[in-house]
Structures are given as structure tokens and as C-alpha cells.
Amino acid sequence: MSAEVLVFDILGAIAVLAAAGVVLARNPVHSALALVVSFVNVAAIYVILRAEFLAAAQIIVYTGAILVLVLFVIMLVDPDNLPEFHGGRPVQRLLALILGLALLGEVMAAILTRTIVGQPGPWSPQAVAAVGGNTQALGRVLYSGYVLPIQVTAVLLLAATIGALVLARPDTPRVRALVRDTATISLAHPRGSEMANGVEPALPALAAGQLKLEAGERTLVMAKSGDDFLDQPVWGERHQS
């Protein structure tokens, strides 16, 4: 057994174990971390295969950007508030099990019967070396034979970006305007001129305060003291139930 095969076995085993950890971990952040480990090991396997560009892209795009965003979202969610994260929904679980086994069977069948052994393409190691390395070779292939798919992908991603912007926008122009000009409440307070004669005047009653802008349908929270605010669930706080 050559050193390369040994290294591949180690990396592959870690990647598979980490992938199992993604499903088995009870804390979603741990799941995401296991996925990071799995991705990094897959990237290392790409390096053994001399696909350095693919390895770097895998780390930068998947580990460095997409999984960071996934973690970003997960960290804002309280794991205790996810009743369906584990257990429940027996139909879904059964369906997932059947589909998973079907996929596993397909892949195993393809591997065992050796029907997915690819034919070597025009890019032999010599041809790759002739254009200056696999990054250059990849660039040549992508931007000559596959220009249209790349452009289509770019347009698709642009559409997705615009779609996300539209979804994140408040519904109507009226609400949008309200979000922009948030209503301010001016609490009653002594004026400077009243302070001038050296006597500190008594605070005006709370009722003397005014609402500066039309608040629309937004709920305004009026709190007399700091404790009033604490009755409401604060962002990120664990609920005692």
C-alpha cells in the first residue's frame, strides 16, 4: 500500500465519520462543525488528486463562506425551540430512510459493477502541464467550451440575489416609509429655560410627552421602567418553560 492510499484512507475515514456526526449531533452548531471537518477532509483528498484549485475553491466557498452563513443563522436560533429537530414526524423519517437507502444502493451498485468508470478525457497530465498547470487548464475548459453554462449560472445567481432582496423588503411603500422614519416618542423633560433661574423644576408628567410621528400599524412599547422591558423575551434568551 502506497503512502498516498494510506493518507486517502485516513482522510476518507475522517470525512465519513464527520458526515455521520452531522446527522447524529444533537446540537445544530456541532452538526455544522462536523460538516466543516468533512469538507476540509474532502478538500485534502482533492489535493492528493492534484486538483489544488478545486481544493482551494472548496475551502473558500463552502467552508469559508456558506458554512459561516449557516452558522450565523444557527447561532441565532435557540436549539431548545426546535421541537422537530430530532424525533417526531415518523413519516418523514421513514421516507428519508427509504430514499437514503435507495441512493446508497444506487451508488454501491454503480461502484461494485464498475459502470461509472470514466474514460480518460483529452486532458492527460502532459496536456495539463503544457498549458501551465491545472488552474490554467480548468480556466481554458470553462471559458471556451462552457461559456454559456457559466453565463446561465451567473444569471441564475443574480436572479436569486434579486429575489432575496425583494423578499427581505417590507411589503408596501407605506410600511417601507414607516420603517425608514421610525416614530420617535419625546418623553417629557424640563426645558433649559426652566433651569435658568437655578431652581430645578419638577419633571412633567409622562402624559405630557408626545408621539412625534404617526406610528402606523406598528406596535409601540411604552415602558415605565426597565423591568417592563424584561417581561418581553429578549433576543437570544433561553425561555424557561
Partner 1 sequence: MNWAAFLSNYIFAFIVLNVMLGLMAYMTYFERKVLAAMQDRVGPKRTGPFGLLQPIADGIKLLAKEDIVPKNADRLVFLVAPLLSFVLAPLSAAVIPFGGTVTVFGQEVNLYVADINVAVLYVLALGGMGVYGIILGGYASANRYSLLGALRSAAQVISYEIVLGLSLVGVFILSGTLSLVQILEAQQQPLSFGGVQVPNWYILSQPLGFVLFLIAAVAETNRAPFDLPEAESELIGGFHTEYSGFRFSFFFLAEYINMIAVSLLAATLFLGGTDGPIADGVWWLAAKAALFLFFYIWLRTTLPRFRYDQLMGLAWKVLLPLALINIALTGLIRLWGLGLL
Q: Which range in 95-103, 128-136, 157-165, 186-194 contacts partner 1 by CB under 8 A?
A: 128-136
- What is the closest distance, in whole angstroms, from the C-beta atom of residue 61 to partner 1 in the complex? 9
Q: At what angle do helices 28-48 and 67-75 cross, to 10 degrees?
A: 170
Query: Would you state the cell numbers that stand for residue 93, as one nine-digit string?
Result: 423519517
| Binding mask of the shown chain, residues 31 to 50, with x at each position contacting partner 1 by CB under 8 A | --x--x---x----------
Q: Which is nearer to partner 1, 2 or 172 (CB)?
A: 2
| Binding mask of the shown chain, residues 161 to 180, with x at each position contacting partner 1 by CB under 8 A | --------------------
Q: Which among 111, 161, 125, 101 has a CA at the least distance from the CA of 50?
A: 125
Interface pick for partner 1 out of 27, 81, 92, 184 (rule CB under 8 A):
27
- What is the DSSP secondary structure assignment for residue 65, as one 8-state letter? I
Query: Would you state the cell numbers that stand for residue 101, as one nine-digit string?
Result: 437507502
Q: How far is CA 55 from the centre of its chain?
A: 20
Query: Would you state the cell numbers that stand for residue 42, as one nine-digit string?
Result: 474532502
**Is residue 14 a contact residue for partner 1 (CB under 8 A)?**
no
> What are the phi and psi torsion angles at 90 (to 5°)?
-60, -35
Contact 58, 28 (CB under 8 A): no
Q: Which is nearer to partner 1, 64 or 201 (CB)?
A: 64
Residues 47-76 that bind partner 1 (CB under 8 A): 52-53, 55-57, 59-60, 63-65, 68-69, 71-72, 75-76
17 burial type by CB count under 10 A (0-12 exposed, 13-18 middle, 19+ buried): middle
* Number of amino acids touching partner 1 (CB under 8 A): 27
Residues that bind partner 1 in the complex, under the rule CB under 8 A:
27, 29-30, 33, 36, 40, 52-53, 55-57, 59-60, 63-65, 68-69, 71-72, 75-76, 132-135, 236
